Amino acid sequence: MFLTKDWRSIGDFIAAGPRSKNAKLEIRENLRLLQSSYAARARAQMMSCFRDVTVEDLPSIVQEQMLEELLDKEAQQQLEGGGGEPPALNWSLEITERLGSRLHALWNRSAGDCLLDSAMQATWGVFDRDNALRRALADTLQQAGQFFYPRWREYEASQASRMLDFTLEETQWQEDWESLLATAAQPGSALEQLHVFALAHILRRPIIVYGVKYVKSFRGEDIGYARFEGVYLPLLWEPSFCIRSPIALGYTRGHFTALVPIEPYASSRIPPLATHGVVSGNNSPLEQLQIQMQTTFMPLMDREHKLLPIHFLTTDEIGREESIYKEWLDVCRTEGGILVAQQKLHKRPLLVAQMLEEWLNHYRRLAQTNEAPFSRPPTLQDYSSDGDTEDE
């Protein structure tokens, strides 16, 4: 017996288990803290990487089934250029192979919940089935609209003038704004750029979206320009109050996916010291290797080495993109000259680690039906019980 697609999220698999209630309470508490101006340091972190070394312990047929249920192969193919467009994801061999930073698209629910699902998967490893993140999104835009509205209006007016050469009356801007607020509050409603920008503030960390350039019809015809690709920074916060380690999302035809790396503790992630690509800096080769093992490098450029746009900049900020990147992210350049953001990977909090272990145990039980019984007890010494670190 195999899992259905409704159980592809690690958290959803154990939704009926004893840890489910604790997990939901933990997520709600995280969101409450992240929305508070005087809260503790942000606690969300990258938890959805799956363990390469654990997967390799399983028979090949079970590995294939696990990855089939976990990954979104169609989205992966489109993002990597399978639809005839230039690749938006994993286009640099230096980053994917030499620096071990290939990103993988995770399956989630379709329709208008995919953005929230993907953001939750990239931080807590679960779907937003209880609409906790959607409620936080709607509340944030309602309660802090006086801060979001001016920046949104200026940005959209600039885009409309530059790309379409038209302007709107103030009443039309107000109508569009009210529509965006209503959409944020309605489960299942498709979300837009403003909502990604607001999510960056709720999570208090940058969101990098790698996406297709054009939205296509089901016949493969271009029907519009997709504007989602780029970087969304929590610009309304102080940088010192935010996490510098970004999350990555993918955007294909009307659909978002979480993009996650394979956990870097497997030997396959560590190339020989003499041959792997190192990130330019003043660290010794050994220090660089240690940094590489704990870091995923995410390009801030497209395949033509053009900087990804930073959305919702004001007129005064446009033209300073690279310095703004450095203000909000830990950035460096590869030997090949690619500007990259560093996503720091830390030990999982205990609750998330236990949830993941229960999810993996399902596949171990499947393996026992095909081969001699084996088990791999949880290595709790690898987990953290004190939540997130403050140096993320």
The residues carrying an active-site annotation are 114, 255
Q: Which residues make Cβ contacts (< 8 Å) with residue 288, sequence separation at least 6?
A: 278, 279, 281
**72-75: which pairs have CB atoms within 8 A and are 24 or more residues apart?**
72/105, 72/106, 72/107, 72/108, 72/257, 73/105, 74/252, 75/105, 75/250, 75/252, 75/255, 75/257
Q: Which of 15, 291, 254 is nearest to 113 (CA)?
A: 254
For the beta carbon of residue 177, count every other beta carbon within 10 angstroms. 18
* Angle at alpha carbon of residue 385, lines to 382 and 389, rounded to 5°: 90
Q: How far apart are the first and last CA of the chain?
A: 40
What secondary structure letter does DSSP report for 97?
I
Q: Between the CA atoms of 328, 329, 330 and 335, what dihedral angle is there, to the nearest 10 degrees?
A: -130
Q: Which of 31, 48, 23 is nearest to 135 (CA)?
A: 31
Q: Cβ(212)–Cβ(86) under 8 Å?
A: no
Distance between CA atoms of residues 64 and 57, nearest Å:
12
Q: Cβ(289)–Cβ(99) under 8 Å?
A: no
Q: Map tokens 């309605």 to a residue.
A: 186
Q: Which of 81, 338, 332, 333 is nearest to 210 (CA)?
A: 81
Residue type present at position 8: R
Q: Cβ(180)–Cβ(174) under 8 Å?
A: no
